[in-house]
Amino acid sequence: MSKAEIKTVVKRFNVVRQRQLPIAVFSFVVIATGVVYYLGYQNGFDDRVPLVLDEAGLKARISKLETRLSVESETLSRLREELANKESKVGDLERELVFYRDIMSSSEDVSSVKVREPDFSWRPESRELEYRAVVQRLAPGTQSYQGQMTVELIDLEGRALDAAYLSTPTHTVGFKYFQRISGIITVPEGFTASEVRFSVKLSKPRKRSYEQRFAWQETPADSA
């Protein structure tokens, strides 16, 4: 190649403009990103349902719901108490029904009576025996029953408590269906009772005598 064909090309570069171009591109990207984000946020904000529209109204509703819950809890508790009371009353009525069925059971003797299993309560500090019993008719009908009932303590040898210590408790009997009897017997030192004897002497509707004995002993279990 000859020297005449060699050309020298000289280009001028603007250093400041080359530096501004990347900065402009970066700024554009940042601005575009900000615009997209803002538009998206605004769109999302417009589409959202606010969680709290009326704070005061929401508090009032919460208060009403709490009050309703409290009332319903009290009502449920009251219903449970009423149910328990009704169950107890039903149990009492069932026992009363059994009792009256026993009273109205058939019997050939219209003057037949009996003493139901009594309750005994022993007081060791005063050596007193409290008894509670029920005397009832066994035959159906409306006849009146009248007479006397005596209650005696019987020892291991079959002997009654000596009247010198205490007069024998006597009860006047007068009923159509049944009568409750209760009393207290003072037991002297040295007397060991094994039974309590209930003796009934009727004068009406017929003269009849009945006797029933129930076991009883002076034990720690009785004194509890």
Residues 98 and 193 grouped into a single domain: no
Range of the domain at 148: 113-223
| Bridge pairing between strands 170-175 and 145-155 | antiparallel
Residues 82 and 128 grouped into a single domain: no
Give DSSP secondary structure letters for 142-182: ---EEEEEEEEEEETTSPBPPTTTSPPPEEEEEESSEEEEE
Flag whether 159 is in a domain.
yes
pLDDT value of position 12: 59
The Cα 137–Cα 140 span in angstroms is 8
pLDDT tens by residue, the chain, 224 residues: 555 566 655 555 555 565 666 677 777 777 877 766 666 655 555 555 555 556 777 777 888 888 888 778 888 888 888 888 888 788 777 766 666 666 555 555 666 888 999 999 998 888 888 999 999 988 777 789 999 999 988 888 778 876 445 556 889 999 988 899 999 888 888 788 889 999 999 998 889 899 999 998 665 444 44
pLDDT value of position 212: 92
pLDDT value of position 164: 44
Count of domains in the chain? 3
Residues 93 and 172 grouped into a single domain: no
Residues 160 and 69 grouped into a single domain: no
pLDDT value of position 36: 65
Flag whether 163 is in a domain.
yes
Is residue 58 classed as helix, strand or coil in its secondary structure? Answer: helix
Read off the CATH number of the domain in which 133 is found: 2.60.40.10
Flag whether 9 is in a domain.
no
Do 143 and 110 meet the contact criterion of CB atoms below 8 Å apart?
yes
Residues 92 and 29 grouped into a single domain: no
pLDDT value of position 180: 93
Q: What is the pTM of this model?
A: 0.49
Flag whether 150 is in a domain.
yes
**Model confidence pLDDT, tens digit, residues 190-214:** 788 889 999 999 998 889 899 999 9
Residues 219 and 137 grouped into a single domain: yes
Residues 160 and 188 grouped into a single domain: yes
Residues 64 and 160 grouped into a single domain: no
**Model confidence pLDDT, tens digit, residues 131-140:** 999 999 887 7
The phi-psi region of residue 109 (left if phi > 0; otherwise alpha if psi is between -120 and 50; otherwise beta) is beta
Do 128 and 185 meet the contact criterion of CB atoms below 8 Å apart?
yes
